[in-house]
Structure 1
Amino acid sequence: MRQLAMPSSLCVRWTPSHAKPARAVKPPVGGLMLRHPSALALAASLLVAGVAQAQTQVDLVAENTEPVARKDALIEAPASLLTRVDRRNLAWTAAVDGRPAPAQAIDRNGDGFIEAVVLVADFRPNQRRRITLRPGAAETSSRVQAVLNVQAGATKTGETFQGGRFEPAARLDVPAEHTVHDNLIAMEGPAWESDKVGYRLYLDGRNVTDVYGKKQPELVLHRIGLGQDDYHAEAAWGMDVLKVGEALGVGGLGVVRGAMAEQIGQVDSISAAVEANGPVIAAVRVDDRGVRVGDGRTDLTARYEITAGSRLTWVRARAGADAPLAAGLVKHPGVTVLQSASGGDWAYLASWGPQAENRDDLGLALFYRVDEAKPADDGRSLYVRFGEPQNVRYAFAAVWTKDGDIHDLAAFRAELDRTLAELEHPIRVAPLR
């Protein structure tokens, strides 16, 4: 753990981004007393067999069950299919129909055992593709990244930190002295991006998400907000396109107080960590402790995850059982509000119109399961309230007219319906027979 030297006893606890937490590893032959040559031979043979078993490849079939083509479709091979491999192995390689493809192990609960191996691939209508997974590292480029840049060696002069240098951190425990716009954290909090779009989260009492529209697929957020640029002004790479105000931004978490979905406000403490950083998925975790709920307090934990080739950020969150937890979209004047037709397991709330900072058309969307949340509109935010705040899942996305080929309301609606169909019919993964 490295500490940033700050004046007035201010100490920011952080972990450099290259640090990896140690994990407890069980011995392969725990408790076996090797007192006899035959026992030694048996143990050696078991160890050799175990190594061979741990190196066995996993052969699967991934199927697009829909009669439409899909680009950069997420393939998630759950742990239940990763038989005869060591689930502590975080490095994997993949091939799709024999062609190498980037792959990534996912450990969302942090217990040291992977929950899935993920990759993306294109599919023709109703196509089945052979997936081969093997433990092992491979050099590959990433189409996603998560960023948490913190100013080290700075002095707080007046209301802002100055004179330091921004450095990447893997984790940050936000000091109590941190205030909005004090320049301690680049972009005011953690950020994540794909080759399609970028997002950031305000790491303070606002705790909601903002949009970085991108005009090129290059990963750029690691160099944004370092005090040498104005990301509210349009640049060659793009810009901060959304004005959040007091609303929930794009897919931001909040609480319902009275008749309004509000930002969480001041809390006892906040921390953030980069939990995954490509090549397929980038993820950030944010913990808010002491969120005010009625006359009491609750803790809120959320993980934000983006996939290569996608605009969607997936959110998994949990809070106390009685927390009136909500997620929503800022509602700017003059926008067109969209809701999906009923009938499926998933639905969306969305808006389209000249709501970008530079008055470009911008689309915002929130996807949720109809049996887990109910939609509402308080005039400031379009939002959904979750029935089980201890187990929240949803997704959000933003589309800027300068980030691709979606330039009008009709195209945006078609993109929403396409995404909804993919949520209803994810790529099916099964053992190869």
Structure 2
Amino acid sequence: MKRYLIPVLVAISVISCKQENKEKNVAADSQTSSQNSNSQKTYAEISVKEGGQWEGREYMNGEFKNVESLEVPQEHTDHSWYIRYEGPGWENQQVGYRLYLDWRNAIDIFGKKVDTLVLPFVGQDGFDSYHENADWGQDILKAGKSMGIGGYGRYMNDTVAHFRNVNNTKARVNNSEGSSTVSINYEGWSTGTDTIDLEASLSIFPEGRFTKAELTPSKEITGLTTGIVKHGPELMTGTSDNGEWAYIANYGAQTLVNDQDNLGMALFYKTKQLDRQIEGTDDHLVIFKPTTKTITYYFLAAWEQEKDGITSEDEFKTHVAEVLEELNSNTLK
């Protein structure tokens, strides 16, 4: 049996036992999982309901089951109750992320207070229970109408077009000893007068809070964009010594937890792929030049409640500078 399946098996065991205090058991059970599979440092999953039925846009009844790949049903949209925590998730021991696999296509953050893998337990005891404080942590970012952190869309007519018109969407997860990846193929994504296919890859590694994002469009279009949701903190920018990489970032009170809880977010991009960096309605935007080559960028989140985490703006700035230097020296994966 492959080692990366162990967290999923532990999760199934927890559900079948119907333990009354599931939130308290998350930290203990994920610790057991970590001890049983010391090499498992990253994890990605997608979990869908089986055994129920569609009633319009909602999937009723059924139980969640993890799958390696998924072709998204035409009925599926936001709040269909079909995909556990609404899309694929990926994590390492420091942070977790999820992508809304519907028209919103935003990326959200799971803040973690433990240094073990927790995604198999998230959303198992109520569809949106992860919005509430738990021993493992919680969903900490309000995406709203934005792309969240590192999500992607197309900037046109002074707004961001998300993924309302897609012929078919396929998602797959892959776990290996050195990384975990979510791959998504959007077939026939229509915006304005253009229709393209888009391949997206989102990878997380054992070390670091960052996700590596890779976007490959089937044809050149203007306005392909990513960004960071705007929640008030002042935007910070910087460029690497060799000028090949740059970043946008912010730090401050911008979480769902309370109005004093601090979160840092950063997005790193290749300057040669940049068309412009602007302020959108809901996001700090990085807009890329038209291309059919793969666009690569990185994003990261640092929550002050992490175990041994970053707890000040100065520490966050230092961390961002360190990641930028790693990109500058080509030592990041």
Fold shared, TM-score > 0.5 on shorter chain: yes
Pair member with larger Rg: 1
Which residue number corresponds to residue 304 of structure 1?
Answer: 202
Spell out, residue by residue over 1:364-388, the C-alpha distance to the aligned partner (whole angstroms, 9 max, x if none).
Answer: 1110011111321124111111114
Mapping 1:335-350, distance limit 5 Å: 335-341=233-239, 343=241, 344-350=243-249
Spell out, residue by residue over 1:291-320, the C-alpha distance to the aligned partner (whole angstroms, 9 max, x if none).
Answer: 223212111110000000221100111112
TM-score of the aligned structures, taking structure 2 as reference length: 0.82
| Matches of 1:185 and 1:407, distance apart in 2 | 33
Contact persistence 1:195–1:310 (CA under 8 A) = no
What is the letter of the counterpart of residue 353 of structure 1? G
The structural deviation recorded for 1:230 is: 0.7
Kindly indicate whether residue 154 of structure 2 is the aligned counterpart of residue 154 of structure 1.
no
Spell out, residue by residue over 1:243-296, the C-alpha distance to the aligned partner (whole angstroms, 9 max, x if none).
Answer: 00111100001101112234232311111001x213220001011122223212
Which residue number corresponds to residue 328 of structure 2?
Answer: 424
User: Which of 395, 400, 407 lines up with 2:303 in the alignment?
Assistant: 400
Which residue number corresponds to residue 277 of structure 2?
Answer: 375
The structural deviation recorded for 1:337 is: 1.0
Contact persistence 2:302–2:309 (CA under 8 A) = no
Which residue number corresponds to residue 286 of structure 1?
Answer: 184
| Matches of 1:388 and 1:157, distance apart in 2 | 41
Which residue number corresponds to residue 214 of structure 1?
Answer: 112
Q: 1:298 to 1:309 in 2, by over 3 A?
A: same
Q: 1:141 to 1:378 in 2, by over 3 A?
A: same
Kindly indicate whether residue 171 of structure 2 is the aligned counterpart of residue 272 of structure 1.
yes
User: Which of 356, 365, 368 lines up with 2:255 in the alignment?
Assistant: 356
User: Which of 357, 366, 370 lines up with 2:267 in the alignment?
Assistant: 366
| Matches of 1:264 and 1:178, distance apart in 2 | 13
What is the letter of the counterpart of residue 192 of structure 2? G
The structural deviation recorded for 1:353 is: 1.4
Contact persistence 2:200–2:215 (CA under 8 A) = yes
Contact persistence 2:222–2:289 (CA under 8 A) = no
User: Which of 55, 75, 79 lines up with 1:177 in the alignment?
Assistant: 75
Which residue number corresponds to residue 190 of structure 1?
Answer: 88
Contact persistence 2:56–2:75 (CA under 8 A) = no
What is the letter of the counterpart of residue 119 of structure 2? L
| Matches of 1:162 and 1:261, distance apart in 2 | 32
User: Which of 260, 279, 283 lines up with 2:159 in the alignment?
Assistant: 260
Aligned residues: 291
Kindly indicate whether residue 146 of structure 2 is the aligned counterpart of residue 247 of structure 1.
yes
The structural deviation recorded for 1:323 is: 4.4
| Matches of 1:395 and 1:144, distance apart in 2 | 17
| Matches of 1:305 and 1:417, distance apart in 2 | 21
Alignment partner of 1:148: what SS?
A: strand
What is the letter of the counterpart of residue 254 of structure 2? Q
User: Which ranges in structure 1 are unaligned for 5 or more consecutive residues?
Assistant: 1-16, 19-138
Contact persistence 2:102–2:163 (CA under 8 A) = no
Mapping 1:107-186, distance limit 5 Å: 141-157=39-55, 159-186=57-84
What is the letter of the counterpart of residue 225 of structure 1? G
Query: 162-171 or 339-348: which moved more?
Result: 339-348
Which residue number corresponds to residue 386 of structure 1?
Answer: 288
The structural deviation recorded for 1:158 is: 6.3
User: Which ranges in structure 2 are unaligned for 5 or more consecutive residues?
Assistant: 6-36
Which residue number corresponds to residue 117 of structure 1?
Answer: none
| Matches of 2:166 and 2:52, distance apart in 1 | 25
| Matches of 1:216 and 1:428, distance apart in 2 | 24
What is the letter of the counterpart of residue 41 of structure 2? R
